[in-house]
Amino acid sequence: MALLLTALQTVSLVSFYYTFSISLTFYNKWILTGYPFPLSITMIHLIVKFLLAWLVRKIWSCIRGSPPLVLSWGDYLKNIVPVAVFSALDIGLSNWSLLFITVSLYTMSKSTALIFILFFALLFRLEKFRLAVVGVVILIVAGLLMFTYKSTAFNLEGFILVLGASVITGLRWSCAQLTIQKEQLGLSNPVDTLFHLQPVMILVLLPIAIPVDGTNVGTSVLVFRASDWAEFGWSTAYILPAACMAFMLGVSEYLLVYHTSGLTLSVAGVLKEVLILTLSTLWWEEESLTPLNMVGIAVCVSGIALHVAIKAYYSRVEDEKESESKVREDTMELLPSAKNGRGFVAEYSDESDVVYEKQTNNINS
């Protein structure tokens, strides 16, 4: 029953994550055709996410009648700042690379993030080293490479940017898992996590956004050179729904990492990429799927299914070990100490189950 509940919880969290991630991807694809300022739009997302997190915390604080969580400067600098810096660099480099490379090459290159996530998870001891898990990661990456393989132009600058983003992705989610799963920090609520992350992310991403988008945004008639306030208002109205979806996506991501792991989020993200590229092909007919792409889909799905099976198996094994340990401890607590007539107390050893005698003072003497 416990295993079934865990599986239902994971499926629900992944579905919650897919809803906002896929919706945001297609919405951004549509909005970027008219507003080609990816980093500036991301900056707006971060600001709106911070304001929404502040508002939700205020409302929740009034309902509960207690002040919202505020971390000390020591905890903030030690735990939050690294996650925020890695998150901002991951987003910034990923979006920047799209100015130089195609979506197919981007997806092929970013698929290596799964390897780096596993590497850092093992380094930080978030995952136990198992050959089966390593095999699953290699299987998924190979399938994703086959699925996204296209005859496309290679750009060294864009490839270096997205490869750097892949390495940082591994650091990002490993550090995030370490931070939000620390009970003493109290960051089980993803809104608290988003509230603390956004200010640093804005400060880190701003120096990247200014040189990349600054001139285009400043001279665009859609933004600062708009002919009237109504046109500027429509531009804002198009961007705000995406910012709200980005807020809900952040909530779903940190919920999934808190209850599972960064590796599980990444594996779920691979299936999400497969779904997005497949839907993109079917709806917009951008590129037809080749037999190699179809084989890649099958390999990806097989790897994901194998990952789920392995996680379920080891989760059941660990639950059984914990149950056996608890039963053993309860049994030892219930075993009475039997005093014999010679002033000795008979006790049971937990390790050998052999009765030994320990001499005590005879109270009756």
Whether residue 37 is found in the same domain as residue 69: yes
Domain match, 342 and 319 both: no
212 in any annotated domain: yes
- Average pLDDT of the chain? 78
Q: Taking 60 as the threshold, does the pLDDT of residue 272 lie above it? A: yes
Q: What pLDDT sits at residue 77?
A: 94
**Residues 258 and 363 placed together within one structural domain of the fold:** no
**Three-class DSSP category at 313:** helix
Instruction: Please report whether residue 253 resides in a domain.
Output: yes
* Residue 356 DSSP label: E
pLDDT at 240 over 80: yes
| Contact indicator for 149, 295 with CB cutoff of 8 Å | no
Give the pLDDT band of residue 358 (cuts 50, 70, 90): very low
Three-state SS string across 82-122, please?
Answer: HHHHHHHHHHHHHHHHCCCCCHHHHHHHHCCHHHHHHHHHH
The answer as to whether 330 is a domain residue is no
Residue 333 banded pLDDT, cuts 50, 70, 90: low
Number of domains in the chain: 2
288 secondary structure, DSSP code: P
Please check whether residues 344 and 318 belong to one and the same domain: no
Q: 269 and 191, same structural domain?
A: yes
Coil, strand or helix at 220: coil
Same domain, 206 and 342: no
229 and 355: one domain? no
Beta strands in the chain (DSSP E): 338-339, 344-348, 355-359
The answer on 364 and 258 residing in a single domain is no
Sign of the alpha-carbon torsion through 9, 298, 296, 31: negative
Whether residue 341 sits in one domain with residue 205: no
Nearest to 54 by CA among 219, 224, 196, 169: 196
Q: Are residues 151 and 260 in the same domain?
A: yes
* pLDDT for res 341: 47
DSSP per position, 240-274: HHHHHHHHHHHHHHHHHHHHS-HHHHHHHHHHHHH
Range 238-256 average pLDDT: 90
pLDDT (average), residues 337-348: 45
Query: What whole-number distance in Å separates Cα of residue 73 and Cα of residue 68?
Result: 16
Mean pLDDT over 275-301 rounds to 72
- The residue segments making up the domain with residue 175 are 2-324
Amino acid code (one letter) for 152: T
pLDDT value of position 195 = 95
Examine the domain organization and report whether 186 and 246 are in the same domain. yes
| pLDDT, mean of residues 166-176 | 91
Q: Is residue 199 part of a domain?
A: yes
Judge whether 300 and 268 are in contact, CB under 8 Å: no
Confidence band for 150, pLDDT divided at 50, 70 and 90:
low
Shared-domain flag, residues 176 and 282: yes
Q: Which of 82-91, 193-202, 214-223, 300-309 has the lowest mean pLDDT?
A: 214-223
* Within-domain flag for 331: no
